[in-house]
Amino acid sequence: MSDSNAQGHFKNILDLIKLRITVMQWVTFAMGFWLGNIGQFDLITFVYGLIGTGLVASGAGAINHAMEKDIDRLMNRTKNRPLPTGVYSTSAVVGLSFLLLGIGSSILFFKVNLLTAVLAVLTYGFYVIYTVSKKYTSLNTLIGAIPGAMAPLGGWAASSGTLNLDAWVFFIILFVWQLPHFYAIAWMFKDDYESAKLKMISCFDVDGSRTYRQILITIVLLIVVSVYPYFTGMLGSIYLFGSICLGCFFLINGLKFNKDRSILRARKIMRVSIIYLPLLLLVMIIDIQLMI
């Protein structure tokens, strides 16, 4: 195999496993692992947890490609993916997905704990449900936010062996954060989703007013839920101040969508959401380090 062919296959595999989503799963798993048992960091368990979580997340990405092959052909942004272009067969990708799911969940079961393995399998299952739901209901964004927020629960369970209120608060923050992020993306690719007959919220929104309301409501809700760790005693005043500032920055950008409902503005909101999350996690880390 030539170097160019090898590079092409490597790129296609990274596309199939949705590497960016897998990386996000790793980041939030790591944060959950650290928060779940501060001061007791088991490196071996952490590494096995990352490997298992990454494999299951990659398997979920692959099954999404297999299930949406025909839909991807209809959208400009996805028509060049490996399955629509015929690079790989659907059966091969499904087999890869199940293989990754089996190996990843087995690693989590035998090397981490049962709860972490169950959460990973549930993440895979919810991702499948989300993929199907896009054809039938505009609530698919809410459904898709569930698997997107489960990695920190897995990390928490891996380090502590259980899930407490703080773990679920972290889950809710991640859940709500995804909503304005994906509503902005839905507006950016409105035409693509309409051509594929997907039931995204933007497909029922002629002037963007409904999308704007959803973005605004979910950003406000994010500000509210993000300060909750302060009131549970999980985090301190530095986190409280930082989370409010970041939330207001996010909100200001969301409000601009009211007068400018362009794709460019939606892209800016999406980018702000991407900046928001790592900065929020950084504020958490700084706050905890100063509390220890």
Provide mean pLDDT across the span 42-46: 96
Fold of 164-292: Four Helix Bundle (Hemerythrin (Met), subunit A) (1.20.120)
Q: What pLDDT is stored for residue 112 in this prediction? A: 97
**Over residues 167-191, mean pLDDT:** 96
Residues sharing a CB contact under 8 Å with residue 205, sequence separation 6 or more, in sequence order: 187, 190, 211
pLDDT at 292 over 80: no
Q: Where are the domains of the chain?
A: 1-163, 164-292
Q: What is the pLDDT of residue 263?
A: 95
Residue 291 has pLDDT above 90, yes or no: no
Q: Are 129 and 150 in contact (CB under 8 A)?
A: no
CATH architecture of the domain with residue range 1-163: Orthogonal Bundle (1.10)
Average pLDDT of span 198-210: 93
Q: What is the pTM of this model?
A: 0.94
Confidence (pLDDT) at 135: 94
Contacts 24+ apart (CB under 8 A), 99-103: 99/59, 100/17, 100/55, 100/56, 100/58, 100/59, 100/62, 101/55, 101/56, 101/59, 101/60, 103/55
Residue 154 has pLDDT above 80, yes or no: yes
Residue 40: pLDDT over 60? yes
Interatomic CA distance for residues 227 and 21, integer angstroms: 25
Residue 4 has pLDDT above 90, yes or no: no
Helix axes 90-111, 43-67, angle to 10 degrees: 160
The residue-averaged pLDDT of 260-264 equals 96
Three-state SS letters, 47-116? HHHHHHHHHHHHHHHHHHHHHCHHHHCCCCCCCCCCCCCCCCCHHHHHHHHHHHHHHHHHHHHHHCCHHH
In our burial notation (b when 16+ CB lie closer than 10 A, e otherwise), range 215-247 reads: bbebbebbbebbbbbbeeebbeebbbebbeebb
DSSP annotation string for 256-288: GGGT--SHHHHHHHHHHHHHHHHHHHHHHHHHH
Predicted pLDDT of residue 9: 80
Reply yes or no on whether the pLDDT at 3 is more than 70: no
Contact 180, 269 (CB under 8 A): yes
For the segment 40-58, the average pLDDT, to the nearest whole number, is: 96
Whether 1 has a pLDDT exceeding 60, the answer reads no
CB distance 143 to 130 below 8 Å? yes
pLDDT exceeds 80 at position 234 = yes
pLDDT over 90 at 265, yes or no: yes
Res. 8: pLDDT tops 80: no
Interval 128-155 mean pLDDT: 96
Tens-place pLDDT, residues 92-109: 999 999 999 999 999 999
Mean pLDDT of the chain: 94
pLDDT band at 50 (very low <50, low <70, confident <90, very high): very high
What is the mean pLDDT of the segment spanning 44-68?
97
Q: What is the pLDDT of residues 75-94, one digit of tens each?
A: 999 999 999 999 999 999 99
Contact 265, 287 (CB under 8 A): no
- Residues 19, 41: Cα–Cα separation, whole Å: 26
